[in-house]
Amino acid sequence: MSRKNLVIGLALSCVIILSSGKADAKKIPSGGPTATRLVTGLQGAIGSTTGPDGALYVTEGPAVLTPPADRIPRVDPQTGEKTTFASGLPIGGAIDVAFIGKTAYVLVTLVSSDIGGSDIDSIYRMDGPNSFTVVADIGEFNLNNPPTIPFPFEVPTGVLFALQTYRGGFLVTDGHLNRVLRVTLDGEVSELIAFDDIVPTGLAVSGKTVFMAEAGPVPHRPEDGKVVAFRPKSPIATEVASGAPLLVDVEFGCSHRLYALSQGDYSGGPEGSPALPNTGALVKVKGDGTFTVVTDGLDRPTSLEFIGNTAYVVTLTGEIWKIKGVSGPPCGRSH
């Protein structure tokens, strides 16, 4: 992208298009997976994770038509019951969440002074239901270490998007500065890998290998929606699959099958605009480097989790959809 990229839109402007959904269930023909709406009413929902207790945890942050939130709801994956797990985060900044053991960490972005805020773009460690500690000042790192690959950007502190635990610390994608950062629990921040203007989004890890989704620049052509893989000491990412527009997440499901989440067809609006409503899809990575559609018709999805052979999809419209039977027969829990 040449100015404001997709991730700024996801974090700021996309949530102006709120809806309650048009159906309670979707089903792919020929005995395919069934998608049922589990939760409604979330605010600015973008990131998610499965906690150590098997529940879903979702970030509520940016919102326009409703007051910006500062919460992490806990969601029962069976009943959809919502409770507040944490609150008191910088208003409108929480974008993803992850656990190390029983401790939750929250990725916060777009709250720094360079865009008119007064907080720190960082990973926040949850110390109590309403108390947090800054682990690392990622915004300050970005200010002091701008990208060396030439492309225009507007937010020098970056637009952080995905948080992934990795070897005792974290990986963070920056969808504006087009790189993946490595952050230790001691607060050290370093650049793991840098890219051209490809808009990195979601992350998954298998052993030492990192898998990453790319939304691709405007106009978010299907061929630019990719899953790539790399290792810590490799300066180059290898393409795993391509062919789905505006990818926002990647996760492993049952039997170590790899899936990605497509937000859908480009709306043609200004840079940062979300996909067209009801054009998103859950797709599976095939061995030939393409994707096959598992469930389509999703409304601007943002985040994907697996518990067993059931997928959970979080959407910009404040919903969570439960998609059963994604990987065939039941299997052990996968995240």
For residue 179, pLDDT over 50 is answered with yes
Residue 51 near residue 59 (C-beta atoms within 8 A): no
**247 residue type, one letter:** L
1 in a domain, yes or no?
no
303 vs 30, residue with greater confidence: 303
102 in a domain, yes or no?
yes
pLDDT (tens digit per residue) in 311-327: 999 999 999 999 998 86
pLDDT (tens digit per residue) in 106-140: 999 999 999 999 999 999 999 999 999 999 999 99
> Looking at residue 18, what is its pLDDT?
27
Largest CA distance in the chain: 55
For residue 29, pLDDT over 50 is answered with no
Tell me, yes or no, if the pTM score tops 0.85.
yes
> Looking at residue 33, what is its pLDDT?
85
CB burial of 245-262 (b: ≥16 within 10 Å; e: otherwise) equals bbbbbbbbbbeebbbbbb
With a pLDDT cut of 70, the percent of the chain lying above it is: 86
201 in a domain, yes or no?
yes
What's the pLDDT band for 1 if we cut at 50, 70, 90? very low
What's the pLDDT band for 99 if we cut at 50, 70, 90? very high
330 in a domain, yes or no?
no
Q: Which of 140, 119, 257 is nearest to 187 (CA)?
A: 140
334 in a domain, yes or no?
no
For residue 41, pLDDT over 50 is answered with yes
Q: Which of 107, 108, 219, 120 is nearest to 163 (CA)?
A: 107
What's the pLDDT band for 274 if we cut at 50, 70, 90? confident
The tokens describing 67, both together, are: 């007051």
> Looking at residue 228, what is its pLDDT?
98
Question: Which domain, by its residues, includes 154?
Answer: 6-324
Contacts of 78 (CB under 8 A, 6+ apart): none
CB burial of 182-203 (b: ≥16 within 10 Å; e: otherwise) equals bbeeeeebebbbbbebbbbbbb
133 in a domain, yes or no?
yes
> Looking at residue 335, what is its pLDDT?
36
**What average pLDDT does the segment 144-157 reach?**
94
**What average pLDDT does the segment 72-93 reach?**
95
**What average pLDDT does the segment 83-110 reach?**
96
What's the pLDDT band for 268 if we cut at 50, 70, 90? confident
> Looking at residue 331, what is its pLDDT?
65
Average pLDDT, the chain: 88
**What's the CATH number where 303 sits?**
2.120.10.30
233 in a domain, yes or no?
yes
Q: DSSP labels for 187-207?
A: --EEEEEE-SS--EEEEEEET
Kindly report which listed range (4-18, 53-67, 110-124, 174-188) carries the lowest average pLDDT score. Answer: 4-18
Contacts of 116 (CB under 8 A, 6+ apart): none
Give the total residue count for the chain. Answer: 335
35 in a domain, yes or no?
yes
> Looking at residue 329, what is its pLDDT?
58
> Looking at residue 125, what is its pLDDT?
98
30 vs 50, residue with greater confidence: 50
Q: Which of 229, 269, 264 is nearest to 246 (CA)?
A: 264
For residue 285, pLDDT over 90 is answered with yes
How many domains does the chain contain in total?
1
**Vertex 162 angle, CA 4 and 13, to 5°:** 35
What's the pLDDT band for 62 if we cut at 50, 70, 90? low
Residue 88's SS3 state is coil
